[in-house]
Each structure stands twice: as C-alpha cells, then as structure tokens.
Amino acid sequence: MNLDSLTQNSGEWLRAVGPEADIVISSRIRLARNLSSFPFTNRANTHQKAEIEQYLQGRLQKLDIDLQLDYFNLATITPLDRQLLVERQLVSRELANSEGPRGVAVGANEIVSVMINEEDHVRLQVIRSGFSMDEAWQEADRLDDKLEEKVPYAFSEELGYLTACPTNVGTGLRASVMLHLPALVLTKQIEKVFRALQKINLAVRGLYGEGSRASGDFYQISNQVTLGKSETTIINEIRDVIPQIIAYERQARQTLTRESRPLILDRVKRAFGVLKSAAMMTSEETMDLLSSVRLGVNLGLIDDINIVVVNQLFIHTQPAHLQKLLGRELDSEERNSERARFLRNRLSEMDSMN
C-alpha cells in the first residue's frame, strides 16, 4: 500500500456496503493497550518511544494472521500525508500532531489499523462499513488475541487493561457508530435523541471537517464507561440503541417526504446545482450540501448520482485528499477554488455517464 494510491479509492468503511448503510456510515471498535515494561507514552523519552515502536512493529510483522499490515512511520512522512491518514480515520488527529517516534500499521481495505505511541502504546482499531458492530468487535478481539501472544500487555486482574488515562482503564474499549441524521436535524428532533442517549451514559459528538461545526449532519455515538462491564455488554448497549435511532431518522424522513416534499426536493436540487456550478467552495459548505444530496439520493428524489460517489466526495474534498489528488500543496483560498473545480468535474462526469 502506498499513500499516493490511497486517494484513488476509499476505505471499506465509506463504500456503503454494510447493513443500514443509508444511515449508519460506519461501526468502529478501538482497543487501548500498553506494554508492561515501559512507561506510558507521555512519560517515555524519545529513546524509549523508539524502542516501543521497533518492538511493536516487529511483533506486528510476525503476527499469525492472514492480513498484510503496511507500516507508516508518522515521524518521517510529510504533514500532508499524516493529515491524509487522519481524514481516512486510520490515525487520530492527536497522534498525527504529536511528536517523536510513532506510526501506524494499516491492513488491506483499511479495515484494521494499529497506532503505535498514541496516548497508549497500542491503539488497535477496526472500522467497518454500516451497522456492523459485532463483526468489528470479533475482528478486533481476534487481532488483540494474536498480538497478545507476542506482547506482554499491562494488565491487572482487578482493573483490567491499564491505560494512561483512567477513563479508558478496564476493557480499554471504545465502541462507536457514525450516523448520518439529516432528517432528525431538519425536523429539529436531534436534541431529543441526544438527551435520551446522555441518560444512558453514551457520548454523542458531531463530526467536524476543516472549518466546520458538526457539519454534514454526521454524529458519532460511543460508550463512556470502560470499567466494570464486559466488552459484550458495552457493545450490546450501543448496538441496542442504534436501531431506535435509525427508526427515528426513517420516520423523520417519511414525515419530510409526506408533508414537505416540494421543500425537500428544492433543497436537494439546489444543493446539487450549487455543487455542480460554484466557483469557490469551503469544506464546510461542501459537507452541508453533500449531506442534502445524500438525503435526496436515499429518498429517491434524485438519481443523477449514487451513494457510493457521494460518500467518496465527502472524503475526496477534505483538504489533504484534495491536495494529494491535485498533486500539490494549496493554501486555503486555492483549496476553495480547486475544491469547487473538482466537484464540477466529478459531477459533470456523472452527467455524461447518464
């Protein structure tokens, strides 16, 4: 795998192949683990971090799995490439922006990534398209077992996997689901959903792009508690609540098409029109317009474009992707005009195919 080829396609999680993919973008499992014989990353010096990296990278190469892992040394690749990995959700923003020896091993299809020297020595992540929590967990659990055969983790019988921050101790598990909820936003019911989730100790966060707030109507729901519950319990608690949110969103979509069809149709067509013709486009506006188009495709209001292409445009118009696709660095004004040009080109390609 090379970083330049990543931009040619999108990771598995964006391919809209999983269950309920019209609403659930992706399901993600993240496990935090540490080596028992080193201080935590924030307390390790450069030499120790290099040792940790070398040790883990070596073990990862030798894992008894049918998955090829490609390693990226985050200390030596360009800031643009680091940003690219962040946009693809293979690396956390925190790891990309930190310092010293650190890296990420990425599996084919970008389903698996293992970050080294993040806040914890190991952050193992599995991300799947659609509502596929169980599959994601099984994969993460299996990989964790394989790695554990080769690596002594910091673990206590009483407190479980020991992590740099006590908010992750125990299972070290963060399970999250990314949802596209444009109809709940439009019908102003989204806060009601948030309140309900908060009551059962689940965290909700808006997804942000460059210069955007909760843009694109994407929301991530994840567990907060990691200690005192088994992995299965944690995952089930999230898994059980998602179908209700999906049902609310579908209901809101139905209400919209039943009661405000002309308004929604107008919104969708206008969004598509602007995307196809604007000369300057910020990342934020792109996300919002694409969100409307995405809703339109899912409601069958527009058939000029399919959902996979819409998903791809969300990621290809992100700053680092755009710059990689164009093959040069751009300042933010250049990005806005190149982003608009990119969208015009892509969408007129679609027209000529129809």
Nearer to another protein, 110 or 210 (CB): 210
Structure tokens at 226: 């990691």
Minimum separation from the CB atom of position 350 to another protein (A): 30
Strand intervals (E) in the chain:
24-33, 69-73, 103-107, 112-116, 122-129, 155-156, 160-161, 173-180, 202-206, 218-223
Size of the site for another protein (CB under 8 A): 62
Stretch that binds another protein, among 102-110, 163-171, 242-250, 309-317 (CB under 8 A): 163-171
Residue 298 · residue 307 · CB < 8 Å:
yes
- Determine which residue in the list 2, 5, 64, 157 makes contact with another protein, applying CB under 8 A: 157
Rounded distance between C-alpha atoms, residue 317 and residue 320, angstroms: 8
| Residue 71 binds another protein, judged by CB under 8 A | no
Q: For residue 167, give the amino acid letter.
A: T
- Determine which residue in the list 77, 109, 141, 337 makes contact with another protein, applying CB under 8 A: 141
| Residue 169 binds another protein, judged by CB under 8 A | yes
| Residue 9 binds another protein, judged by CB under 8 A | no
Rounded distance between C-alpha atoms, residue 173 and residue 40, angstroms: 18
- Determine which residue in the list 50, 65, 77, 159 makes contact with another protein, applying CB under 8 A: 159
| Residue 37 binds another protein, judged by CB under 8 A | yes
Residue 71, classified by CB atoms within 10 Å of its CB into exposed (0-12), middle (13-18) or buried (19+), is middle
Stretch that binds another protein, among 20-28, 219-227, 248-256, 342-350 (CB under 8 A): 219-227
| Residue 338 binds another protein, judged by CB under 8 A | no
Structure tokens at 266: 């107008």
Nearer to another protein, 166 or 243 (CB): 166
Rounded distance between C-alpha atoms, residue 88 and residue 256, angstroms: 32
Residue 176 · residue 133 · CB < 8 Å:
no
| Residue 149 binds another protein, judged by CB under 8 A | yes
Best CA proximity match to 263, nearest among 288, 298, 292:
292
Binding site for another protein (CB under 8 A): 34, 36-40, 42-43, 55, 93-94, 97-98, 119, 141, 144-145, 148-149, 152-162, 164-167, 169-171, 173, 191, 194-195, 198-199, 201, 203-206, 208, 210-214, 224-231
